[in-house]
Amino acid sequence: MEKQQNVTPILEVAWSKFAQLDAASVKRSQSFMKLRQWIAVFGVLATLFAIFTAIYPENFPEIFGLVLRVLLILAPITASVLAAYTNKFYSSGDWLIARAGAEETLKDIYVYRTILQNDPSRRIWLEERTGEIQRSVYRGMNGELVMEPYKGPLPPPPRFDPKYPNCDPGFSDLTGEEYFNYRLQNELNWHIKKINQLQKQRVRLQVLILGSGAAGAFIAALGAVDNSISIWVALTASLTTTFLGWEQLKNLDVVVRNYSKVILELNIISDHWKNLEGEERTQTEFYKMVEATEDILWSRNVEYIKAMQEALKESNLEKEASLINRVIAEQREADQRLKQSMEDSLIEHTNKILDASTTKLGETFEQSLGTLAEEASSDVVQAELAAMKAAVQRMAEKFGLVSSLNEISEEYEDIEINADTPRGVLNDILARYPKTEEVKG
């Protein structure tokens, strides 16, 4: 218990980075496999709906036939959409990069707690190694380090769960026996359990592949007697192709061989340690066990990542996504053509409106000018203007303004009153303008 309480900051950092990378790898890997499963399912359904549509009886309700045709169209489109999405966001295999970073960090944690436990510079070493691993992961993910922060306990469950026997507390320096139990024996047990699970998957897939192939051959033989049955060969062929593709994606043969080698080597290291007497379990033997174990586990990790990357290359989704990619490309071209057509139509229509508006405004302006000129020259308007002039003359004579106005008019007859007239001249004219007793307003 005392050892577990000795929590050093650098180990907290290292365990946090391991937990983050481990969680990201598991989450992305599971999402990828689920997407591939759905792509396979919709691919088989497309074949099944095509068969149902082809053999649909004429005397059955038309509505069900319509539903079948709709499903026949939707199934391959859905599979293609999922394939395009998977190819866009999962083709790089970024979860494999995260897995490599996690396993390398874990290896360095155990080296820190064993071989370097008496080295005063180990804290600086682990800090530098953690930084190097993060940069390597960043480069491997093409500069896109999109991962959720880890907020759980350290070391992270379920891989390090206290309820399991021989669970590593995570922070204390380890003796040879502790390393043997916490690391070597746990990894050996995990690989033995995992390889048995993989073997069951491999056998099950082989049975499905052979079964679907045999069913296709049997149906083909029956088709010689009843031609209407032979159409179901398409379904068995689709199932066989799907199972073969899944086996290729999982790459079970290579993984089983890789794990078998790890089990073999770990067993040899384990047997050697068990064979040592108490006094023979020296620091030298301890460090040799650590170095050999970590090398084997790291080699397994490298081989696994290499095998899965090869499987991803061989299982390229470009062909499966070709339908939706072609539809998207054609839709973009159609959108561009529509946009250009709309712009051309808008400009043409606007020009027509502007031309029509300009012509109409010109005609209206000319018409208004003609109307004004005609009205101004009419007898009625001329009579009204004469009457207004006479009224102004009588008002001026009434208030004795005529002489004053005449003097001002004669004095400033050479000056044109407009916006450019000097302010001083205007003020002088206003000052000499005669005042009246009339109340304004």
SS3 content of the chain, % helix, strand, coil (to 5): 80, 0, 20
For residue 422, say if its preceding peptide bond is cis, omega within 30 degrees of 0: no
Q: What DSSP letter does each residue of 173-226 carry, written as one string?
A: ---HHHHIIIIIIHHHHHHHHHHHHHHHHHHHHHHHHHHHHHHHHHHHHHHTT-
3-state secondary structure of 321: coil
Reply yes or no on whether the pLDDT at 415 is more than 80. Answer: no
What average pLDDT does range 43-48 have in this prediction? 92
Report the alpha-carbon distance of residue 281 to residue 14 in Å, rounded.
Answer: 29
* Under 8 Å between Cβ of 150 and 12: no
C-alpha 37, offset from chain centre: 20
User: Would you give the DSSP letter of residue 227?
Assistant: G
Range in 26-40, 240-254, 333-347 with the lowest mean pLDDT: 333-347
Q: Give the distance from CA 143 to its chain's centroid.
A: 15
**What is the structure's pLDDT at 318?**
57
| 114 — pLDDT class (breaks 50, 70, 90) | very high
In this prediction, residue 323 carries a pLDDT of: 46
Q: Average pLDDT, stretch 382-403?
A: 58
pLDDT at 441: 41
Q: How far apart are CA 72 and CA 66, in angstroms?
A: 10
Q: What would the pLDDT profile of 344-364 be if each residue is shown by its tens digit?
A: 665 665 566 556 655 655 555
Cβ neighbour number for residue 85 with a 10 Å cutoff: 15
Check whether 158 has a pLDDT greater than 80: yes
How sure is the predictor about 159, in pLDDT bands with cuts at 50, 70 and 90?
confident
Q: pLDDT digit string (tens) for 225-275?
A: 777 788 888 899 989 999 999 998 999 999 999 999 999 999 999 999 999
The answer to whether residue 290 scores a pLDDT higher than 90 is yes
* DSSP 8-state assignment for residue 148: P
